[in-house]
A = this chain, B = another copy of it.
Amino acid sequence: MRADAQRNYARLLAVAEEEIALNGADASLEQIARIAGVGSGTVRRHFPNRHALLAAVFRDRVENLCAHARDRVGRPDTRAALLEWLNAVTTSAATIRGLAMALNRDRTADAEHEHCATTQLTEAGEPLVRQAAGDLAPGVTVTDLLALITGIALATEDHPDPAAEANRLLGLAITGLSPVDGRIRRPGPASGGS
């Protein structure tokens, strides 16, 4: 990679981070180019699409979270280890504007990227979940947990204190909103239609 290309790449990444922190995941690429002092073509060359830019911007954060998970594998208090990690993920997703949406987007995108953030988090968290399986409701997977977390983060994005609120909701979901034993009568699909 040529030196000027490296410079521009770094510059764009820095500007993008600011701009995304400011305006969320749908910050204007044009604007980013303008601030970085490069042409729009340059942005597009380094990051073919918005998702690529988001992925690059959030890569460090995601890797931190993955490391965070790996650090906790093998600890005796498996449940606490998992919960700590979930809280960390939640805090990041709720705090860092655009991250939740990026995670959500690439969970849906048909796995074109093997290295997409969600895949990484899933793989990193899987051992934690496995070793804490005894403390989890039957059928709960890492994927479920991450889906729930991104959902919560999306829903709390505009809250005054997103991280606190998101973690509170996550806490409720973990211990159960209405944790009563015995079979609950399962209603059919909504009669709300029409």
- Residues of chain A having any CB pair with chain B under 8 Å: 60-61, 64-65, 68, 77, 79-80, 82-84, 87-92, 95, 104, 107-108, 132, 134-140, 144-145, 147-148, 150-159, 163, 169, 172-181, 183-194
The docked-state distance in angstroms from the alpha carbon of A169 to that of B159 is 22
Beyond A64-B194, A77-B194, A151-B156: 9 further Cβ-contacts under 8 Å?
A79-B178, A80-B194, A83-B178, A83-B187, A84-B187, A108-B158, A135-B180, A148-B177, A175-B179
Given the interface pairs A87-B187, A89-B192, A92-B192, the reply to whether A148 lies near B152 with Cβ below 8 Å is yes
Q: How many copies of this chain?
A: 2
A-B CB contact pairs (8 Å), 15 listed: A65-B190, A68-B192, A80-B185, A88-B192, A108-B159, A134-B189, A137-B177, A151-B169, A174-B178, A174-B179, A174-B184, A176-B179, A176-B184, A179-B181, A181-B187
**A179-B64 contact, Cβ under 8 Å, with A83-B187, A169-B147:** no
- Residues of chain B with a CB closer than 8 A to A104's CB: 154-155
Cα–Cα distance between A95 and B193 once the two chains are bound (Å): 10
A157 to B156, CA, bound (A): 17
Assess the A136–B177 pair: CB atoms within 8 A: yes
In the assembled complex, the CB of A159 is this many whole angstroms from the nearest CB of chain B, namely 8
Question: Are B179 and A179 touching (Cβ within 8 A)?
Answer: yes
The CA of A154 and the CA of B149, in the complex, are separated in Å by: 11
Nearest opposing residue in chain B for A158, CB measure:
B108
A184 touching B187 by the CB < 8 A rule?
A: no
